[in-house]
Structure 1
Amino acid sequence: MTEQPNSPQLYLITPVGAAASSLGPLLADVMDRFPVACLRIPGAGTEEDLGRIADLAREIAHARDVAVVIDDHVRLALRHGLDGVHLRDGARSVRHARKELGADAIVGAFCGISRHDGMNAAEAGADYVSFGPCGETALGHGAMAGADLFEWWSEMIEIPVVAEGALSPALIGQLAPITDFLALGPEIWAESDPVAALTHLWR
């Protein structure tokens, strides 16, 4: 997949709840083996814990010319020198984040399965829009972002689109031609060997 023309880039999500001490070697190993385009830090945890993870992720990612964003926390992004934020409330906070972070920051917006929210986020100045989950998951309301949503977006909208949530090899094969980024995180960190799991998915 990754060797085909117009193939999507890898957007890596760090594991939720990981201690900074164990996260460092994991991230370095994965990022040395795979061409990661962007690294995202989930917003779960205390401000102190997130700050430690942000510093660690920034050091590892920036050494490899990889951008780092964090879920929702605009002030943490500023304080810890991150490249931007990933907003989980669709278009609602895009303008505020852009004002606080500046024109050069990355502002992404997760829009579930809503074309309307995606278009609003793009119009508000988001650098990318993400849709998901793409596969079945116990979280959420059971609705999934299907290939038709990504196909429509890639044909109609210029803003890059990210596919995320319960991605399987079959889904990756289906979505690869119609997405700009594929976001992987829980799919690999839940396995005993994240590198092997990512190799299986990203081939």
Structure 2
Amino acid sequence: MAFLDFRSRLFLITLRDLPEDFSERFASALAGGDIGCLLLDGDQSDERAFQDMAAPYVQTAQSANVAVLVADDSRLADRLDADGVHLTDPKELDEDGQAKLADRGMIVGIGGINTRHLALQVGEREPDYLFFGRTDRDATEETHPKTVTLATWWAQMMKIPCVALSGTSDEAFTALAEAGVEFLAVREQIWTAEDPGAEVARLNTILDAIAHKRAEAAA
């Protein structure tokens, strides 16, 4: 199997409260290297304000070949011409609704999964990915133990890709990649870095090294 068959990718989540210099930080992050996906996660109580804020980032990310998802609102994702929607609760959309979005070519990812049983139920719906971890929790250095357990089990047993919300430490990030998790969700470690682009590049270097080791072990 090729090196890329073993390589995890970054799944970048925006901060809910964007700093004043976010535009510069965003441009820096995109210039830093490979990012598989961007999740726009913010206050949508004022849909027009959120749409006006998000539109430039959608266009810029897509121009850099980064898929863009909007949290929980498929209509808003549609108006923004985003690539799909990320559901933080599996109950937010039934199978028919999911199928309609898929028929329109939209990515559908599902989170809010806290047991193996629920993961298997969600997996039967064949979303584009399952998300393990809670984006509404404050960042911690270590990945939440339940996230590690579920993501590792899923990545090693199932074909549908999974995303795991990583702790901010290099050790936590590395452990998820070594377990074969397809996408590592990162947030604070990028946006609060002095140089977001350099941090994206550094994390990608870690992912490259792990992928090479896994490919060599499988040869």
Same fold (TM over 0.5): yes
- Larger helix proportion of the pair: 2
Matches within 5 A, 1:1-203: 6-18=6-18, 22-45=21-44, 46-90=46-90, 92-93=92-93, 95=95, 97-103=97-103, 104-132=105-133, 137=138, 144-177=145-178, 178-199=180-201, 201-203=203-205
CA distance in 2, matches of 1:186, 1:96: 35
Question: Contact between 2:163 and 2:184, CA under 8 Å: does it hold in 1?
Answer: yes
Offset of 1:44 from its aligned partner?
1.9
Percent of paired sites with the same residue: 29
| SS of residue matched to 1:81 | coil
SS for the counterpart of 1:17 is coil
Equivalent-residue separation in structure 2 for 1:115 and 1:167 (angstroms): 25
User: Which structure is richer in relative contact order (CA contacts within 8 A, separation 6 or more)?
Assistant: 2
Aligned pair in 2 of structure 1 residues 113, 165: CA closer, same or farther (>3 Å)?
farther
Q: What do the CA deviations read for 1:57-110 (whole angstroms, capped 9, x no partner)?
A: 211111111110011011101111111111000355252542452332110011
Scaled by the length of structure 1, the TM-score of the pair is 0.82
For the structure 1 residues 143 and 84, does the alpha-carbon distance in structure 2 shift closer, same or farther, using more than 3 Å as the test?
same
Q: Structure 2: where are the runs of 5+ without partners?
A: 206-219
Letter in 1 for 2:56: L
Q: Tell me the TM-score normalized by structure 2.
A: 0.77
Aligned residues: 197
- Taking structure 1 as reference, are residues 68 and 4 closer, same or farther at Cα in structure 2, changes over 3 Å only? closer
Aligned partners of 1:108 and 1:130 also within 8 Å: yes
Tell me which moved more, 98-107 or 78-87. 98-107
Per the TM alignment, residue 54 of structure 1 is displaced from its structure 2 partner at its CA by 2.6
Relative distance call for 1:97 and 1:82 in structure 2 (3 A) is: farther
**Whole-Å Cα distance in 2 between the matches of residues 138 and 26 of structure 1?**
19
Q: Which has the larger radius of gyration?
A: 2
Segments of 5+ residues of structure 1 without an aligned counterpart are none
Whole-Å separation in 1 of the counterparts to 2:192 and 2:16: 10
Deviation, 1:119, is: 1.7
Give the Å deviation of 1:121: 1.8
